[in-house]
Amino acid sequence: MRVDHYDEADFVRTLDAEGNVVGDVPDLSDDRLLAIYRDMKLTRHFDERMVSLQRQGRVGTYAPAVGQEASQVGSTHALEDEDWLVYQYREHGTVAVRGLSSDYLTYWMGHEHGNASLVEQHIAPLNITIADQIPHAVGMAWGAKLKGDDTVVVCHFGDGATSEGDFHEAANFAGVFETPCVLFCNNNGWAISHPAERQTAAETFAQKADAYGFPGVRVDGMDPLATYRVTQEAVERARRGDGPTLVEAVQYRYGAHTTADDPTAYREEEEVERWRERDPLDRYEAFLRDRDLVDDTVAEEIEAEARETVATVIDEAEAFEPSPPEMFDHAFAESTSGIEAQRESFERALEKHGRDSFLRE
């Protein structure tokens, strides 16, 4: 299975590569259709700026999302505000939908405050270890079911996560206990430098759901309307008590796995360019223009809005004044004598050298 030669009849689509309607269009207001476009533009510009900031040494290692905006934004728009998002580390579009703020950027600058603040938006702190968040998401969904509320948990992960035991254990548990969750596999073709066909001998990732007794559906992940529709159906199914769904969103990451990666070492630029022909922003904008919802003026206004929002977020994040000793606060639920000794030593160094001098060193 090579993801750049997939059969377009093999998955759910609403728009073709040129933005023409070829499937069912979800019943969305004009305002919601524009909101999806606005959030996709914001995600794309945020991504571009973050890569630039990393190259300047102003943020740490970053995982680019360019090319994957449609699956992130489209799927998140299908949720209620009270539904929970549990994600890996590349789904910046989900955060954009819930409200991009300087708090999120501070995480990428090394401040755990930014990770913890996501909880206020019903987004679990992002996870770096591959697939570890999936059992947590299923557990959260099981907890919601036991409490009798109608919360649904949507868990994002990459195709590489399906090679981890955590995925299989969580999927089995979700199927047996019919937990109200959506397992959302972002198949972007590469697990770092490992191609999708090296992750599985199965024809698709979606069909792995068959083994665990619940539906699996494959969708064009570069089509925001298709991902919205598929996610909405999966969320409704979970909310009415019919259990989980595995969604495989077929897409492509244009950039590196992270800013510490060199994708030219394992793939050809020709492959990237073939996928750019299906660019999620271009095809969706074409759809909106055909409906007279976007013209040059509207597109320019939304682009300017995205630039202003991101510029403000960056300024606020860089003005954030961290308290360095906070790094010891949550090393353990209850602090230990060893941790406290380290804290005291650190605070003595701060007092001796001065906070600013210490941080520059």
State the pairing for strand pair 190-191/194-195: antiparallel
pLDDT in tens, 96-143: 999 999 999 999 998 888 888 899 999 998 888 999 999 999 999 999
Give yes or no: residues 199 and 344 share one domain: no
Catalytic residue among 77, 253, 278, 283: 253
Give how far the C-alpha of residue 224 lies from the chain's centroid of Cα atoms, to the nearest Å. Answer: 14
Q: Which of 32, 55, 198, 266 is flagged as catalytic?
A: 266
Closest CA to 73 of 222, 206, 272: 222
What's the mean per-residue pLDDT of the chain? 93
- Evaluate if residue 2 carries a pLDDT over 70: no
Query: Rounded to a whole number, what is the distance in angstroms from the first to the last CA of the chain?
Result: 49
**Which two three-digit tokens encode residue 264?**
């030219």
The parent domain of residue 223 ranges over 3-318
Query: Which amino acid is present at 172?
Result: N
Which percentage of the chain shows pLDDT scores above 90?
Answer: 83
DSSP string, 221-272: TT-HHHHHHHHHHHHHHHHTT---EEEEEE----S-SSTT--GGGTS-HHHH
**179, 109: one domain:** yes
* 82 in the same domain as 19: yes
Are both 154 and 229 inside the same structural domain? yes
pLDDT at position 108 is: 93
Task: Give the whole-angstrom CA distance, residue 263 versus residue 301.
Answer: 34
Residues 351 and 274 in one domain: no
Q: Are residues 108 and 195 in the same domain?
A: yes
- Give the type of residue at 149: D
Q: If we measure between CA atoms, which residue out of 109, 121, 1 comes closest to residue 58? A: 109
Mean pLDDT throughout 21-35?
97
Q: Is the model's pLDDT at 360 over the cut of 70?
A: no
338 and 257 in one domain? Answer: no
- Give the whole-angstrom CA distance, residue 154 versus residue 134: 10
The answer to whether residue 355 is catalytic is: no
Q: Which of 75-89, 108-122, 177-191 is predicted with the least confidence, judged by mean pLDDT?
A: 108-122
* Tens digit of each residue's pLDDT (9 = 90 or more) over 319-358: 998 888 888 988 898 999 999 999 999 999 888 877 665 5
pLDDT tens-digit profile of 189-230?
999 998 988 889 999 999 999 999 999 999 999 999 999 999
Please indicate whether residue 89 is annotated as part of the active site: no
213 Cβ partners below 8 Å, 6+ apart?
A: 175, 176
State whether 334 and 263 are in the same domain: no
CATH number at 95 reads 3.40.50.970
Q: Which of 77, 111, 156, 257 is catalytic?
A: 257
Query: What element of type H or E holds 84?
Result: strand 84-86
Q: Are residues 302 and 345 in the same domain?
A: no
- The torsion angles phi and psi of 267, rounded to 5 degrees, stand at -145, 160
Domain count, the chain: 2
Verify that 66 and 132 share a domain, yes or no.
yes
Q: Which residues contact 243 (CB under 8 A, 6 or more apart)?
A: 174, 175, 178, 179, 180, 214, 237
Query: Does 213 lie in the same domain as 310?
Result: yes
What per-residue string of b and e applies to 322-340 under the rule 16 or more CB within 10 Å gives b? eeeeeebeeeeeeeeeeee
Q: What is the pLDDT of residues 164-173, one digit of tens each?
A: 999 999 999 9
Considering the domain architecture, whether residues 73 and 203 belong to the same structural domain is answered as yes
What's the CA gap between 43 and 298, in Å, rounded? Answer: 17
pLDDT at 101: 92
Instruction: Give CA–CA dist 165/185, Å, rounded.
Output: 15
- Catalytic residue list contains 266: yes
> In degrees rounded to 5, what are phi and psi of residue 220?
-70, 105
Please name which of 346, 293, 9, 222 lies closest in space to residue 338, comparing C-alpha atoms. 346
